[in-house]
Amino acid sequence: MVISAASPTPKAASRGKRPTSPTRSSARSKLSERPERQRRLVYGRRKGPALSAHQERLRETLLPTLALHLEAGRDPRRYFANVDDVWLEVGYGGGEHLLWQAQQHPHIGLIGAEPYISGTAKLLSKLDQTPISNIRLYEDDARDIIEALPDASIGRAFILFPDPWPKTRHHKRRFVQMDTLDAFARILKPGAELRFASDDAGYLAYALERLMAHPAFCWTANGPSDWKTRTSDWPPTRYEAKELHGAPVFLRFVRT
């Protein structure tokens, strides 16, 4: 499945209705047979360049005040002083998007998961200059958070430019798998939004096939402009400006 300007427009464009796809039934049956439920591993780098003395100091002083200490079944709003809802970002990188969302939505708690230590170090430097109270950070596997969350407790989730793992033998390492979507379906509130972005055509097709096949998610797209352009509350980041190799695609799915 390739997303392009020539791609057919989904027949059902409104929220709460699933865009029709002639291959959905066959895709779902094929996906259910794939060996995606495997022993959990965390792939990718944990460390990058050596941290500066200032970054090391922030890890010792600032990070403990923002670190998420998981408690199974705990209402995620209780990780914050006073928020109305909680959103989750998987793999926040340098934290630009996470910080922007937290600044724009002071009554929303933002939980970010990022195992890459250098990414968290960059975010801590930003937070040192712009203190903010509605962010919590988890420096490990996002699936730990998802497992600990109670049902229907998250109002929005972001999976933005994850590692595409382009080699076929590495596809099982991709974050978007059917069992991962099962987990998101459990923790997302009805009507909550799942946002996915990538510039890798192979991963986009892979993710879209699974999202379209999953009964709990509805694609909100009316036509190509909806996946070729970001919404006003979806800020660009320096990572996108410097690191992307293809045209980014922005997918928005609603939990039905």
- Is residue 163 part of the annotated active site? The answer reads yes
Contacts of 42 (CB under 8 A, 6+ apart): 115, 140, 141
Q: Exactly one of 85, 140, 144, 163 is catalytic; which is it?
A: 163
Q: Rounded to 5 degrees, what are φ and ψ at 11?
A: -70, -35
Our measurement of the distance from residue 94's CA atom to the centroid of its chain's CA atoms, rounded to an integer in Å, reads: 14
Q: What are the C-alpha distances in Å from 226 to residues 101, 134, 193, 221?
A: 20, 29, 15, 5
Our measurement of the distance from residue 105's CA atom to the centroid of its chain's CA atoms, rounded to an integer in Å, reads: 17
Q: What are the C-alpha distances in Å from 18 to residues 3, 32, 43, 98, 156?
A: 17, 19, 33, 29, 19
Q: Rounded to 5 degrees, what are φ and ψ at 194?
A: -110, 120
174 exposed, middle or buried (CB, 10 Å; 0-12, 13-18, 19+)? buried
Report the catalytic residues: 163
